Amino acid sequence: MQRQREHWESRLGFILAAAGSAIGLGTLWKFPYVTGANGGGIFVIFYLICTLFIGIPLFIGELLLGRKAQRGPVGIFVTLSSEATGWKSIGWLGVVSSFLILSYYIVVAGWGLNYLLLSLNQFTLDRSAFEIVDVFNTLNQSGDITLFWAFIFLLMTFGVVFQGIRQGIEKWSKVFTTSLLVILVILFLYSVTLDGFGEAVHFLFAFNVTKFRPSAFLEALGLSFFTLSLGQGVLLTYGSYLRKIDDIPKIAMIVGGMVIVVSFLAGMMIFPVIFTFNLPPQGGEGLVFKTLPVLFAKLPGSMVISTVFFALFVFTAFTSAVALLEAVVANLIDLYGWSRKKAVCLVSFVVFIVGIPSALSGGGEIFKKWLPMYGKTFFESIDSLVSIWLLPMGGLLLSLYIGWAIKTSVLKEAFSEGSRWQAIFYVWLFLVRWLAPIAIILILLQKGGLINVDSFFIQ
């Protein structure tokens, strides 16, 4: 017997949950870093174009499929096509990617929790810059402590998903997404007062033609996919809890707009701190756990700034982790008729086990030769696997499925339901049917080393 499906209680609740899923570590540490590495201004324009013309149309597509089928990621393709077609592999691909991301997300977010506590204890007070940096090295090499914090973070995520859609995800996303937006604005206002603010704005928005590389466009598309949580079953799942009265195109544009604004705010918050101390823009854990704490220590009110920043870090990761866990859980509930309780317990347990190598690899307690062999730690390897390959592949198959495998009349009906945006249906369809697949195929060919887009343009 089909169980009654829960739906979001309000449009605002859904918007905050979807925005919470999108705004995550990708926005906070990947966006500033990748923007920095690709020369600032021009990359930001690419990112905007990719988000508006490819990211948001696919975002709309995922939500439409989810709402139409009212099932989890794999069930959607079984319902809309049939069991026999291979399309359901798109759902599985998404579920596997979500699962893999979650396994290393909990490690990084756990470090964030650890730094939140350290900040409250004023850990930079009697330490030199060198010693502050060394705190992270110690943490990274202490598998037990890393694992402990990853566990606590996973437990928090578990607690929310366990409570279901309205009482769990919607309620807590409202609290955390709102808090993170408020914190971000406060930190941004603080950054405005720093000497490096002007330089940061110039860096982010000024056109630097000498740094122009066509392949940066593909980087921007990859980043846009990650930050919008596309191609991983999360939006398919969240879409399946939408009601018929919800205006999907409009909601997708609101969430997409929020992600863009938040990415800019994150950049304008982090770069001024760096430029104030004349450092080159860099990213990843080096930026968040080494550079920023050293710089925070030199600023007035450092304890508060540092605490608030790491609270922001944890909150952004939290709402994204909830979405990732839900995608996997919803799939099991739908496909195998499991209870939510059983699915959440089992998935969380397996995520923790799979997360162990990510947590322990920094200290060489496990996979000692991984780093020398592959040039990346275990968790960086999973991140690249997902971000470079699985995610674009999921996006490509999805755009092909929506654009070519589903009847236009069915799509049009799903698009128009609850929406006043019917007029742009054919524009949307064109973007999903043509622009998205072509752009993603180019990414895959470029990343696979089969083409070099730069050489087409630059002799």
User: Which spans of this chain sit near ligand PFF (rule: CB under 6 A)?
Assistant: 21-22, 24-27, 98, 101, 226-227, 229, 232, 234, 320, 323-324
Positive or negative torsion for Cα 387, 389, 395, 398? negative
**Closer residue to ligand PFF, CB minimum distance, 26 or 112:** 26
**Closer residue to ligand PFF, CB minimum distance, 140 or 227:** 227
Pick from 221, 209, 199, 165: which is nearest to 273 by CA? Answer: 199
- Tell me the closest approach of the beta carbon of residue 131 to ligand PFF, in angstroms: 30
- Tell me the closest approach of the beta carbon of residue 41 to ligand PFF, in angstroms: 21
Helix and strand numbers (H, E) in the chain are: 25, 0
**Closer residue to ligand PFF, CB minimum distance, 132 or 258:** 258
Compute the distance between CA of residue 412 and CA of residue 309 in angstroms, rounded to an integer. Answer: 44
Compute the distance between CA of residue 108 and CA of residue 106 in angstroms, rounded to an integer. Answer: 6
- According to DSSP, residue 386 is labeled I
- What are the percentages of helix, strand and coil residues in the chain, rounded to 5? 80, 0, 20
Compute the distance between CA of residue 55 and CA of residue 48 in angstroms, rounded to an integer. Answer: 9
**Closer residue to ligand PFF, CB minimum distance, 19 or 335:** 19
- Tell me the closest approach of the beta carbon of residue 23 to ligand PFF, in angstroms: 7
Token pair in block for residue 154: 């996973």
Token pair in block for residue 11: 């449009």
- Tell me the closest approach of the beta carbon of residue 29 to ligand PFF, in angstroms: 8
Specify the residue for token string 């739906």.
7
Does residue 233 contact residue 62 with C-beta atoms inside 8 Å?
no
- Tell me the closest approach of the beta carbon of residue 80 to ligand PFF, in angstroms: 20
- Tell me the closest approach of the beta carbon of residue 321 to ligand PFF, in angstroms: 8
**Closer residue to ligand PFF, CB minimum distance, 197 or 241:** 241
**Closer residue to ligand PFF, CB minimum distance, 38 or 229:** 229
